[in-house]
A and B are shown apart, each in its own frame.
Chain A
Amino acid sequence: MLFNSLTYAIFLPIVVALYWVSPVKFRVPILLIASYVFYMSWRPIFILLILGLTVVNYFFGFYISKSENNKKPWLIAAVATNLVTLCFFKYAYFLNDSLGSLIKPLGMAPPAMAFDIVLPLGISFFVFEFIHYVVDVYRGSAPIKSFMAFALFASFFPTQIAGPIKRFQDFIPQFLNPAKFSIKDLDSGVSLILMGLFKKVLIADNLAFFVQGGFQHPELFTGLDLWLFTYAFAFQIYFDFSGYTDIARGSAMLFGYKVPINFNLPYLAKNIADFWHRWHISLSTWLRDYLFIPLGGSRVSAKWKVYRNLMITMALGGLWHGAAGHFLVWGIFHGAMLGLHKLFKDGREWLSDNGYSFVSSAVDSKLGTALSTLFTFHVVCIGWVLFRADTMATAGEILKKLFFMDTVFSGMPSYAAAMNLPSINYPLIYPAVFLLLPLLAISHVLMGYIDKTNWVARSPKVIKAAWVCALMLMILVFSPDKSPKFIYFQF
């Protein structure tokens, strides 16, 4: 059941109404049943997976908590159970293919897969929530006593398929002290859902149509064109995933539950580390808490180990997105950029300590901030090429054209370097992208101002109502007939 489907538009109001008209003691069971119905609407058989992992992790939590001297073996068993499940469903083909390419030079073939493996929806997200749970219990948090609460934590349908990755310390108190119905939550929930749909169906889906042309056939375009496709994908993935998160958060809010934010205007990041504080926040904090810090984090004996930890964290973070080489390379790229950023930061500090503080002043000036924001955006965009391209060969072809602007620097006449996009007559999105992309860039900056000034909350009720009305009209009229799945559903 997709958030941008008619089925969900019927399912959600029914569950919300049932939830609030029922006595308090029935509300959590209603939500749990609805969550399982939601999950089963895709492939009913996979209910066994989420239920099985819920039962296993529930008991692991207790064993870890109760064991005095044997906490670690229980933790290892719990983490291994989750990771083996994830690896089986998500990485079996990738590992088999990788093994195949390794042993091919020896004249050997990898073993044939005896059965087809279907990737269960949301597995990467709920497995990470389970790992967070058992690790935090190991670190001293009290385990969840109520099985129903634990089951709901893992299966809560608004966040079930693509997060945000919740923390049980934030979620369970909301379960123990259920919120009362409030108009404020209803209003916030509805406007978040509408905003999410607006981002997804109006912006991301229309850009998706444009983007796939460029990324599937880079040979048809010049470097200038490909920069446009890359910018378009940057906005597509942002509006797709942040749209999804808005719908998830809005849906949860209709039941009085708060789930964490996932995005904070990421393309206004001043550097790559700042970007990861603003992009997919629930994943980046998870990677920090359950991978980077356990590896030693930045408090290590030797400096090189920090870079190693960054690289391992980001490489695995890349692989988490998908079992493919280009995701791994995307992760390594970000690991390398974070390493370079750390070098730069350390260099700045050294310069400041040695009387060259003007460097820091220049970087922190308004112009310096604007330039570093622009630079960071382009670094992220280059990363997106690795992320979006279907193969490394395609990514290589696009990057080559982006950097060398193909004909511009190859001595060919300048007219040959002119963009090909202007000659594309239709579909409409091709000519319209020249207007759309600058508008999106402006809107991103504008959103920063709106957030900063709390403009929406301070607006008169009638303005907010007009905004809701306008969103409903725009979604109704301009959404494509066939809305593609959310990008992060595949992870």
Chain B
Amino acid sequence: MMVSKNSILKTLLSSFAVLGLGMFLAVDAGFRIADKNLHLTDPHNSPIRSLIWWTAKGYLAEPKAPDIVLLGSSLMMTAHHAGDATKRNEIVNEVKHFHSTCMEDFLAQKGGQKPSAFSFAIAGQMASDAYLIARSLLVGDKQPKVIVYGIAPRDLIDNTLPSPASTETFRYLDRFSDFSDIALSARTSANEFIQYGLEKAIYTLSHRPDLICLQHKFAYSLAPFGKDAHTDAQIKTPFALRAIARMDVPDDNGANELRIGPYDKATEPFRDNTTEYRHRYAYIKQKTYKSQLSYLNKLMSLCKQQGIQLVVVNMPLTPGNVSLMAPGFYDQYKSTVAAMARENGAGFLDMNKQDAFEQKHFADTVHLNGLGGVQFFKLLSDELALDRSFTAALSATQ
């Protein structure tokens, strides 16, 4: 027996679940229209106080574009924070301290005029993240003259990275940037594609973070306590509880939770993280490596296109760390990056100088300590001051 279309429709319409789904789609469409016209949500806000959120907030608050922007992972980030804390001899709040005192002062000593140098270096930043930051935030009236990008093999081969789209930097920037050209290539698993498809179809789903921000605002307005969670107020949450919280939301950093003091030999013994890096280097995913190299290439092309002078800096590592890599890999990585830089008119500086950095400059096998941070920026400034492309870009008027 043939069932008519009308009869199927009638049967389905008699379902309150189907009607509920219809209502949901209508509400979603209404939210889409209202938000587009009335700007109900602020995509720059975030329910997670991630490093990219703090740094982007800091960058957008800058009165004008800095002369230099530093990019890189924790290798550059710790060199910047630990180095500045040591140079300034004071405790530095890592989610509030963005200008590189070391770089500004050392370059001023070399060239006379003091440039402004803003650090966008963020722990865990991959080459894909660096490219996304450059194309989303370092544009228009916020375009710097120079980008100094500190890189090491681990920033291209992180074997725990599911895909470029899985980082907090991607997720955050994607909310107010148009990444449609890389939407598919940045995702790798079926789950990611389905999630992306659903987010495209359902406006409410893609605006979950905005709605969670509204929920937080509402809850804090009702809750008797915790109103100062987003401020610099003295946070009394016991460390043990924050540790639990960070297991669930590892990217969340409170306003005064990440602090670093001046280098103190007595309290900062060298931490041997050889085991971690042996594991990292043992299982290099070629697909990830190639994909990240292509993003590095995109960053270089973007800078060339925008007229930003890019200097790629090979970050210092301990000899022991380099020896953990497969024979020939490190040299191959360096020559690949250097060749890519040459092709795109970017500079390439190898700062992994065995004679300049000793074990006393390292906090562990890859991260520089305060002493190393100061040394790094001093040597980097010396090198940059001799680089004609760099000095020409810096002295150019925007």
Contact = CB atoms under 8 A, between A and B. Distances in A.
B21 interface: yes
Interface stretch (A113-121, A305-313, A398-406, A467-475): A467-475
29 contacts: A7-B191, A10-B194, A183-B11, A187-B17, A216-B244, A220-B238, A422-B224, A423-B236, A424-B225, A424-B236, A424-B237, A426-B229, A426-B235, A428-B219, A430-B226, A430-B237, A430-B241, A431-B223, A432-B219, A432-B223, A465-B17, A466-B20, A468-B16, A472-B21, A473-B27, A476-B202, A476-B204, A476-B205, A477-B204
A216 B220 CA distance: 26
A422 B208 CA distance: 28
B236 A462 contact: no
The interface residues of chain B, by DSSP majority, are classed as: helix
B24 A473 contact: yes
A428 B194 contact: no
A466 B236 CA distance: 42
A301 interface: no
A42 interface: no
A331 B254 CA distance: 42
B245 interface: yes
A414 interface: no
B44 interface: no
A374 interface: no
B219 A426 contact: no
A198 to B, nearest CB: 13
Interface stretch (B150-158, B210-218, B297-305): B210-218
Nearest to B246: A427
Q: Chain B contact residues (Cβ within 8 angstroms of A): what range?
A: 35 or more
A424 B239 CA distance: 11
B23 A209 contact: no
A265 to B, nearest CB: 24
A465 B25 CA distance: 12
B9 interface: no
B15 interface: yes
B233 interface: yes
A428 B229 contact: yes
Contacts of A478: 211-212, 215
Interface residues of A, number: 43
A399 to B, nearest CB: 20
Contacts of B244: 209, 212-213, 216
B14 interface: yes
Contact of A464 (B11, B16, B219, B238): B16
A382 B237 CA distance: 26
A429 to B, nearest CB: 9
A186 interface: yes
B240 interface: yes
A435 B222 contact: yes
Contacts of A220: 238, 240-241
A466 B223 CA distance: 28
B248 interface: yes
Interface string B225-261: 1101100010111101100110011001010000000
A190 B224 contact: no
B225 A422 contact: yes
A425 B15 CA distance: 45
